[in-house]
């Protein structure tokens, strides 16, 4: 407690309040632009923090991080384009909400859920840092491999209508992720004789292509005058708040805890957390078939999880000096540049700084509500611009966003190619969400599978034996099996109910899709 009260005092410094607002605004804008990531936003601002004292600099970087992760949901809801990979699951229900004329419901749900998730993540950081950091250290190759497979099992829930096509979409994404240098032995693969492909398929341009450019093709082809009909819902914020505090309480809490736990695992970020949280939310829902049609529950799960990741990712960074995400790595760099050595001593030797940073995360997540509301109202104006202008504008933004990642024209071509793949996949029913999941998780799965193979060779056992040696891996295997079997069980249950009562099929689909 000796550090907490002075830390709270620092937050009322007008300069720090200003930096939090500026950081949040900048972060939300960067996050909302496809191609510009939270990592890029934070990295761009690191040099600016050198002119400030360490506390103010860290506060601003933390605010950008929080803003950017939330900002990704704005474009996910409004134009079906995840601004950051963490928002892929947000498109599943956010875009249907927008299409049905309830963009404000979608944006406000994302905002309040993100804020809640961020606060839960920070609580975990404040009170559970030490034990959770020790738990995270137990994650090696087999555990990470099964965590990713658990994330991948979401496909079964996501595409329960046609699971085979969903799985094939996922496999296609995984196969695409193998293009480039092999993560285990460094051999170039599947370059098709085109040398730049050695760099591999970058996740973000592939996402922009699958979700954004394919959406442009669809929208232009639809010949609609506007992106979506939008009439502001009277009392939308109040309705969303009521929905979240009544029927989404458990979802918010469960998803935030998932986010915090996944966030502290190095390499596993918001994209995995939000997808797992969405999956779990759908799995435990009484009417899972509503998911994907524009329900606040889906949005709440995805957005609370990806913002809770922030607190989780900061746990190993502050306590062990191991960043839990790319952004945490950049913040770690900024800390080191200031001569602050992360580790358990950071809470004693530089306790003032560490606790001010942690407490600022609470303040930032609360400040995000008014800042996010203000920006959300501006962003909904996008829906009143003629669709042709929005569509061709998205193409230009996609090009510069993709190019900005590695300064490579290859990434721009990836956008175009994956746009066509996404458009074709939508036509033939191959799930682009599953494909995106495959592209995101592919490198992690392969890298950890390679580690397991090396471990098995070193120990003289089989890979299967390596998997079963770890209790955490076994637990994850059981969860994966449950995740895969649940849709089959629910389908069986639904068919049984339909057989019992001829009028049941329509009643199952009752209930408004929005708040």
Summarize as ranges the residues that interact with another protein (CB under 8 A).
29-30, 33, 36, 44, 164-165, 167-168, 171-172, 174-175, 178, 182, 184-185, 187, 189-192, 213, 216-218, 220-223, 225, 386, 388-389, 391-393, 395-397, 399-400, 403-404, 407, 409, 412-413, 416, 419-420, 423-424, 427-430, 445-446, 449-450, 453-454
* Residue 386: φ, ψ to 5°: -60, 140
Place of tokens 């993560």: 183
In a 3-state reduction of DSSP, which class is residue 69? helix
Query: CA separation (Å) from 102 to 75, 109, 338?
Result: 14, 11, 46
- Beta carbon of residue 328, minimum distance to another protein (angstroms, whole number): 21
Shortest CB 104 distance to another protein, Å? 24
Q: Which is nearer to another protein, 232 or 505 (CB)?
A: 505
Q: In the Cβ-directed half-sphere of 482, how many Cα atoms lie within 13 Å?
A: 11
Q: Give Cα 18 distance to the centre of its chain.
A: 27
In the bound state with another protein, the residue whose beta carbon lies nearer, of 136 and 152, is 152
Nearer to another protein, 93 or 446 (CB): 446
Q: Among candidates 205, 204, 203, 175, which has minimal Cα distance to 190?
A: 175
Q: Helix, strand or coil for residue 306? A: helix
Hey, CA dihedral for 133, 138, 143, 144, is it positive or negative?
Answer: positive
**CB 317, CB 326: distance < 8 Å:** no
Residue 386 or 496: the one with the smaller Cβ distance to another protein is 386
Rg (C-alpha) for the chain, rounded Å, is: 22
Q: Look up residue 267 and give its DSSP letter.
A: T
**Whole-number minimum distance, CB 289 to another protein, in Å?**
13
Residue placing its CB nearer to another protein in the complex, 222 or 245 = 222
Closer CB to another protein, 275 or 449, in the complex: 449
Least Å distance between CB 185 and another protein?
A: 5
Closest by CA position to 13, among listed 316, 363, 252: 363
Distance in Å, CB of 476 to another protein, minimum: 19
Six token digits for residue 382: 């996008």
- Measure the CA angle with vertex 505, ends 504 and 507; round to 5°: 65
Q: Which residues of 328-353 are buried (b: 16+ CB within 10 A; e: fewer)?
A: bbbbbebbeebebebeeebbeebbeb
Q: How far is the CB of 221 from another protein (least distance, A)?
A: 4
Q: Which residue, 126 or 426, has its beta carbon nearer to another protein? A: 426
Q: Which is nearer to another protein, 199 or 388 (CB)?
A: 388
What's the burial of 99, exposed, middle or buried (CB within 10 Å: 0-12/13-18/19+)?
middle
By beta-carbon proximity to another protein, the closer residue of 60 and 243 is 60
Shortest distance, position 409 Cβ to another protein, whole Å: 6
For the bound state, the minimum distance from the C-beta of residue 189 to another protein, rounded and expressed in Å, comes to 6
Comparison of 64 and 335: residue with beta carbon closer to another protein: 64
* Angle CA 132–136–142, to nearest 5: 150
Q: Determine the 3-state secondary structure of 430 from DSSP.
A: coil
- Taking the complex as a whole, the smallest distance from the CB of residue 403 to another protein amounts, in Å, to 6
Rounded to 5 degrees, φ, ψ at 281 are: -65, -45
Residue 236 CB, nearest approach to another protein (Å): 26
How far apart are CB 12 and another protein at their closest, in Å?
A: 29
**Number of CB atoms found within 10 A of residue 406's CB:** 13
When the beta carbons of 116 and 467 are compared against another protein, the nearer one is 467
CB 230 within 8 A of CB 252: no
Distance CA 424, CA 218 (A): 10
């Amino acid at each position: 407690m000796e550090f907490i009260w002075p830390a709270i005092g620092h937050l009322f410094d007008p300069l720090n309040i200003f930096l939090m607002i500026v950081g949040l605004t900048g972060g939300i804008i960067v996050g909302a632009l496809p191609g510009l990531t939270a990592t890029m936003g934070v990295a761009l601002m690191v040099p600016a923090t050198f002119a400030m004292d360490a506390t103010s600099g860290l506060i601003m970087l933390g605010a950008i991080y929080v803003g950017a992760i939330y900002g990704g949901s704005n474009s996910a809801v409004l134009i079906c384009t995840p601004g950051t990979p963490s928002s892929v699951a947000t498109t599943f229900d956010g875009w249907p909400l927008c299409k049905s004329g309830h963009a404000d419901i979608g944006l406000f749900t994302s905002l309040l859920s993100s804020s809640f998730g961020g606060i839960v993540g920070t609580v975990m950081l404040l009170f559970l840092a030490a034990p959770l950091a020790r738990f995270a250290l137990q994650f090696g190759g087999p555990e990470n491999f099964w965590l990713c497979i658990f994330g991948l099992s979401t496909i079964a829930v996501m595409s329960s209508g046609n699971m085979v096509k969903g799985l094939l979409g996922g496999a296609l994404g995984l196969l695409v992720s193998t293009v480039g240098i092999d993560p285990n032995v460094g051999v170039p693969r599947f370059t098709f004789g085109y040398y730049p492909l050695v760099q591999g398929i970058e996740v973000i341009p592939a996402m922009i292509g699958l979700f954004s450019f394919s959406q442009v093709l669809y929208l232009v082809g639809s010949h609609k005058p506007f992106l979506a009909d939008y009439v502001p819902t009277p009392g939308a914020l109040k309705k969303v708040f009521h929905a979240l505090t009544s029927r989404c309480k458990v979802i918010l809490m469960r998803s935030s805890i998932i986010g915090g736990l996944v966030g502290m695992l190095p390499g596993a970020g918001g994209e995995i957390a939000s997808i797992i949280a969405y999956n779990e939310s759908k799995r435990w829902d009484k009417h899972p078939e509503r998911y994907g049609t524009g329900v606040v529950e889906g949005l709440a799960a995805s957005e609370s999880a990806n913002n809770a990741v922030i607190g989780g990712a900061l746990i190993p960074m502050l306590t062990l000096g191991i960043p839990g995400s790319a952004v945490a790595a950049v913040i770690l760099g900024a800390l080191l540049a200031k001569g602050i050595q992360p580790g358990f001593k950071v809470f004693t030797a530089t306790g003032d700084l560490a606790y001010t940073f942690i407490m600022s995360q609470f303040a930032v997540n609360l400040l995000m509500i008014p800042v996010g509301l203000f920006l959300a109202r501006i962003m909904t104006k996008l829906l009143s611009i003629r669709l042709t202008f929005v569509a061709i504008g998205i193409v230009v933004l996609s090009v510069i966003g993709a190019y900005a990642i590695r300064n490579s024209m290859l990434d721009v071509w990836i956008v175009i190619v994956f746009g066509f793949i996404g458009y074709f996949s939508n036509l033939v029913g191959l799930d682009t969400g599953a494909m995106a999941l495959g592209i995101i998780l592919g490198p992690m799965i392969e890298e950890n599978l390679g580690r397991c193979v090396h471990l098995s060779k070193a120990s003289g056992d089989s890979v299967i034996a390596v998997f079963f040696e770890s209790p955490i891996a076994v637990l994850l295997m059981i969860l994966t099996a449950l995740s895969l079997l649940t849709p089959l069980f629910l389908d069986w249950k639904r068919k049984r109910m339909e057989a019992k009562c001829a009028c049941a099929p329509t009643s199952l689909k009752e209930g408004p899709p929005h708040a």
